[in-house]
Each structure stands twice: as structure tokens, then as C-alpha cells.
Amino acid sequence: MRSRIALTISPHILHPIARRIHAIAHRIHEIALYPSSHRAKRSCDRSPAFSVATALRHLPCALQNPAMPVDLTKLFQIDDDGKLFISPVIRDWAIVSSYGVNTVIDLEGGLDDCIPTVPNGCLYVYFPIYDEQLPDLARLEAIANMGAYLIANGHALLSHCGMGFNRSALIAGRILHRLGMPGPDVVERLRERRPGALFNDIFAEHLRSLTQ
């Protein structure tokens, strides 16, 4: 009779592994959506030799096949006034502008080709960050201050990343906090308005810890 041994793995070990797998999956997804942009912006990556094949070698086989469905046809309204939105990658400016958005904070690895270039049109902030650790806090605070100021003065802002769950929610959460919402309420609001948001525990705890 064969004996079975139960193996228990601490969540403290599993969570960093899960975050890393998720980050690699995001990179694969972004490269699939913007292959030319990622070739052009390769100098922004931590490893100049990063490729889909490299990332796949680090993914469990079960994660290589399932598609990662992303709805690119709508934005998710976060505030009550229709001035703050988050979304996955954007391809069609007509969709974005239909929400009145005139400010875009781009957090994923490829430049947005659909951004209009008409003078005094769209304010476009390119701030690619990784869905792992927090970015530079001084820059994060500066972008939150700018976003809150613009919204308070009537502008509509979109924060977007690759899939619209973590990085975009981090920026939107910091903006909500600057507009007066306590940290725990920020996390609750984001998860309510964008189902599945903030499963990056580091981002969620950072926002939850914010005080007035």
C-alpha cells in the first residue's frame, strides 16, 4: 500500500510566485497586442533579450494555452462624476473620446498609436511600470496630484494598462485618494467598479494604507 505525503506550501512563498507568473503573462499579452511597439521600445525592458519564447519558458504549461479575454470596447468608470476611468489597452480613440476623456495615463509597455496629435487635444502621459513592486513613489505621487487636479478642474482622465486590473487601478486609486477618498474605500470602490481589480496584493495594501 502506497503512503501519501501531504505537502503544505506557505502563502508567503506562493504569492510572489503567482505575482511573477501574472506579470510574465501580462508581458506576453502586451507583446501580442503591440508587437511592433515592443520591438521599438525594447530598450525600456529590464532585459533587452525579452521575448515571448523567453517568458513562456517560465510559465507552467497550463498557462500557455488559455486565452486571456480582454474587452477593448469600453472603459470602466471609477468615480461618480464620469471623470475617472480605467481600462485595458486602447486601440480606438473614438471609443475613448466617447467618454469625454482628454487625458490618458499609459502604464503598459507599448505606445498608444491611436492618441490624437492635434495641438491642445489629448494630454498623454507615458509611464510604463511593472505589475510587481510599487513604482517610484515620488513619480506616483506626482501623477496622482496631476490627475486629481485635472479632474477637479473638469477634465476626464483614463488610466490604462495591459488588462485593466492592477496598474491602472493603482494610479486611479491614488487619484481617488487625492480627491478625498480614504484608502480602504478606494480599494472597495475599485473592486466594485472593475470586477477582478487589485489582485496584486502589494498594490491593494498600498492603497488600503493611505490615510487622509
Q: Give the fold, CATH level 3, of 76-208.
A: Protein-Tyrosine Phosphatase; Chain A (3.90.190)
Cβ-proximal residues to 56 (8 Å cutoff; 6+ apart), any chain? 28, 64
Q: Return d(Cα 33, Cα 130) in angstroms, integer.
A: 17
- Per-residue model confidence (pLDDT) at position 85: 99
Does 127 have pLDDT greater than 50? yes
Cβ-proximal residues to 175 (8 Å cutoff; 6+ apart), any chain? 84, 144, 147, 148, 151, 157, 159
Does 69 have pLDDT greater than 90? no
Q: Kindly give the interhelix angle for 183-193 and 167-178, rounded to the nearest 10 degrees.
A: 130
Does 98 have pLDDT greater than 90? yes
Does 40 have pLDDT greater than 50? no
Q: Return d(Cα 166, Cα 161) in angstroms, integer.
A: 8
- pLDDT confidence of 24, banded at 50, 70, 90? low
- What is the per-residue pLDDT across 168-179, written as a single tens digit (0 to 9) for each? 999 999 999 999
Q: Return d(Cα 169, Cα 181) in angstroms, integer.
A: 14
User: Which of 17-31, 155-169, 174-188, 198-212 is the least confident region?
Assistant: 17-31
Domain spans in the chain, listed from the N-terminal domain onward: 11-64, 76-208
- pLDDT confidence of 48, banded at 50, 70, 90? very low
